[in-house]
Amino acid sequence: MTLRVLYVCTEVFPLLKTGGLADVSAGLPPALTAMGSDVRLLLPAFPGVVAGVTPEGPPLPLPAGGGPGLPSGVGPQTASAQGPAPWLQAGRITASGVPVWLLHAPGLYEHGGNPYLDEHGQPWPDSAEQFAWLGWAAALLGTGLHAAWVPDVVHGHDWHTGLAFAYLHELSRTAVHRPARVFTVHNLAYQGVFNAELRPRLGLPDGLFHWQGLEFHGQISFMKAALTYSDAITTVSPTYAREITGAEQGCGLEGVLLQRQAQLHGILNGVDDTVWNPQTDPLVQPGFTARNLKGKAQAKARLQQRMGLEPRHEALLFSVVSRLTEQKGLHLLPAAVDELVRRGGQLAVLGSGDAAIEQALRDCALRHPGQVALTVGYDEALAHGIIAGADVILLPSRFEPCGLTQLYGLRYGTLPLVRAVGGLADTVVDCSLENLDDGSASGFVFDELDVNNLKVAMRRAFALQRRPADWRAVQRHAMSLRFSWARAAAEYLRVYASVMPATPLV
């Protein structure tokens, strides 16, 4: 029997991307499919997503909460009595052929730009409704709304899908079909917490609103709904899975996670080889391999030229491709830049986010013209250019569920300099003497989140640069590491199996 998986998310590369979740949604479903599963994505019909999907078949109307055959008081209400009801449209991602359901809900998803934040960086005012409908669509599909395709597993990603688990909990009291419910935390810091007064509008019965349900300090928490009402929880690295059961990284939900520890699994993300492969990357040509790095030297020269850095091939070129936030530890970086430049290094930064961090980095660029460059914004081609052309990629993160750019850096021989936290601790091995000696070193790792530790790790990078044979050995090892989606998919299949033991997987 083929395992049917409804994969519920809000972004997928290349149609819509704000961060790593989009890369995961592009990489994991095809890997599960390759292992024999039948996976369909469910996404809100944001404009970028609609533009990249070819519809197939007729629309499927989505009953609102309390609709015919549904328990009363469960499920979101339509905002206006006159407006058309939300509906689902089946289709395929045009470029990849991956099957999807798009959730259309008039007035909820048509805004352009960022799916979560308006032009002032504030959450869209109807955020709760937007993602309640997403959860509701998942719950209805999960309990058999479309008889021709009923999933065995509903797999939701991040807080936006959290109410799916609460609705499924309610619907499964009466529904004939009860899918296994798996939830993946990509970032526990974003929780979807809303005013309790929204409960009737979202169709969340009073019986769910208590401290062992989805109530969080008197409010509705979408994240807590998922953590409470899923059968299994995964997160994107083994270390983060441990960290979130403690007060420091638990964001107030450590108690819930500790209680569910037996069903909490850490599964490292993979790298999509069709997008991030230095030999075939169309955004980085000529390509390169660990044995022939000529293309990498050319990528460095192109990057220096593009970002207005002096064309010094011997300069150790540090880089950042990231949201510019405290989560990423980038508030530490400006204080380390003068020393980095004094030691002969350069810095190329691509990102946007926190205004104070942006400004501090802009000041660094003004102070060190030709040695420090900042591009504010989101730019896929430049991201590839940086990860290919730089020598070192920096992730001094405060917390990091998995982190993808260090994995891309490893693949492109751009050694990651990271703080030992979350997925960074699981994927990068420091260039200490003993690690150099046994061939396991792949980057530079520091422990405490402060600027002196960051500077010491930078010094280690300069020291390794002065030992070219060692640098090459570390680079070769880094480029040989593989974080495949096939390995991750096999682990997800094991998690699915653990919550549906009676069902054979293929």
Give the burial string for 473-506 (b: 16+ CB within 10 Å, else e). ebbebbbeeebebeebbeebbebbbebbeeeeee
Tell me the torsion sign for CA atoms 24, 25, 31, 32. Answer: positive
Nearer to ligand ADP among residue 198 and residue 283 (C-beta): 283
Q: How far is the CB of 9 from ligand ADP (least distance, A)?
A: 13
- The window from 17-25, 139-147, 365-373, 442-450 that contacts ligand ADP (CB under 6 A) reads 17-25
Alpha carbon of 7 to those of 24, 42, 102, 396, 500: distances in Å? Answer: 11, 6, 12, 31, 16
Across 260-414, the runs of DSSP E, i.e. the strands, are 264-266, 317-324, 346-353, 372-376, 392-395
Could you say whether residue 110 binds ligand ADP (CB under 6 A)? no
Report the C-alpha gap between 462 and 359 in whole angstroms. Answer: 27
Residue 323 as a binder of ligand ADP (CB under 6 A): the answer is: yes
- Stretch binding ligand ADP (CB under 6 A), from 52-60, 282-290, 318-326, 360-368: 318-326
Residue with tokens 């999933």: 151
Regarding 404 and contact with ligand ADP (CB under 6 A), the answer is yes
Q: Is 350 near ligand ADP (CB under 6 A)?
A: yes
Q: Rule CB under 6 A: say whether 371 interacts with ligand ADP.
A: no
- Which residues contact residue 355 at a Cβ distance below 8 angstroms, ignoring those fewer than 6 apart? none
Judged by CB under 6 A, the residue of 110, 118, 248, 380 near ligand ADP is 380
Backbone angles phi, psi at 448, to 5 degrees: -80, 145
Q: How many residues interact with ligand ADP (rule CB under 6 A)?
A: 16
Q: Please give the residues from 157 up to 196 whose contact with ligand ADP meets the rule CB under 6 A.
A: none
Could you say whether residue 378 binds ligand ADP (CB under 6 A)? yes
Q: Does 215 bind ligand ADP (CB under 6 A)?
A: no
Among 4, 14, 19, 38, the residue binding ligand ADP under the rule CB under 6 A is: 19
Report how far residue 267's alpha carbon sits from residue 422's, in angstroms, rounded to the nearest whole number.
Answer: 11
- Binding segment toward ligand ADP, per CB under 6 A, in 249-257, 284-292, 398-406, 470-478: 398-406
In angstroms, give the least distance from the CB of 21 to ligand ADP.
6
Residue 207 to residue 348: CA distance in whole angstroms: 53
Query: Which is closer to ligand ADP, CB of 137 or CB of 241?
Result: 241
Nearer to ligand ADP among residue 206 and residue 248 (C-beta): 248
**DSSP bridge pairs for 141:** none
**Contact partners, residue 369, CB within 8 Å, separation at least 6:** 308
Query: Is residue 27 close enough to count as binding ligand ADP by CB under 6 A?
Result: no
Q: Is 493 in the site for ligand ADP (CB under 6 A)?
A: no
Which CB sits closer to ligand ADP, 339 or 358? 358
Query: Can residue 381 be called a binding residue for ligand ADP (CB under 6 A)?
Result: no
Helix (H) or strand (E) holding 69: none
Question: What's the Rg (C-alpha) of the chain?
Answer: 23
Q: How far apart are CA 350 and CA 319, in angstroms?
A: 8
Determine the interface stretch with ligand ADP among 166-174, 374-382, 470-478, 494-502 (rule: CB under 6 A).
374-382
Binding status of residue 374 toward ligand ADP by CB under 6 A = no
Q: Does 443 interact with ligand ADP (rule: CB under 6 A)? A: no
Q: Does 353 bind ligand ADP (CB under 6 A)?
A: no
Relative to beta strand 219-221, strand 444-446 is unpaired
Q: Rounded to the nearest 10 degrees, how much is the dihedral formed by the CA atoms of 167, 169, 170, 172?
A: 110
**Residue 20 near ligand ADP by CB under 6 A:** yes
Q: Is the dihedral of CA 389, 392, 398, 402 positive or negative?
A: positive
Using CB under 6 A, which of 403, 409, 416, 443 touches ligand ADP?
Answer: 403
Query: Which member of 39, 321, 360, 417 binds ligand ADP (CB under 6 A)?
Result: 321
Shortest distance (Å) from residue 491 CB to ligand ADP: 18
CB of 285 to ligand ADP, least distance (A): 19
Q: Decide: is 362 part of the binding site for ligand ADP (CB under 6 A).
A: no
The least distance separating ligand ADP from the CB of residue 424, rounded to whole angstroms, comes to 10
Q: Is there binding between residue 422 and ligand ADP (CB under 6 A)?
A: no
Helix (H, G, I), strand (E, B) or coil at 281: coil
Residue 28 touching ligand ADP (CB under 6 A): no
| CB of 229 or CB of 240, closer to ligand ADP | 240
Which helix (H) or strand (E) covers residue 174, if one does?
none
How far apart are alpha carbons 269 and 492 in whole angstroms?
11
Judged by CB under 6 A, does residue 405 bind ligand ADP? yes
Q: Which one among 326, 339, 379, 491 touches ligand ADP, defined by CB under 6 A?
A: 379
Which stretch in 148-156, 207-215, 401-409, 480-488 sits in contact with ligand ADP by CB under 6 A?
A: 401-409
Taking the complex as a whole, the smallest distance from the CB of residue 254 to ligand ADP amounts, in Å, to 20
- Identify each DSSP E strand in 278-345 by its residue range: 317-324
In 93-220, alpha helices (H): 127-142, 162-171, 199-202
Binding segment for ligand ADP (CB under 6 A), chosen from 146-154, 191-199, 373-381, 437-445, is 373-381
Q: How far apart are CA 116 and CA 228, in angstroms?
A: 24
Contact predicate 185/263, CB 8 Å: no
Shortest distance in whole angstroms from residue 323 CB to ligand ADP: 5
Residues forming the site for ligand ADP (CB under 6 A):
19-20, 23, 321-323, 350-351, 378-380, 383, 402-405
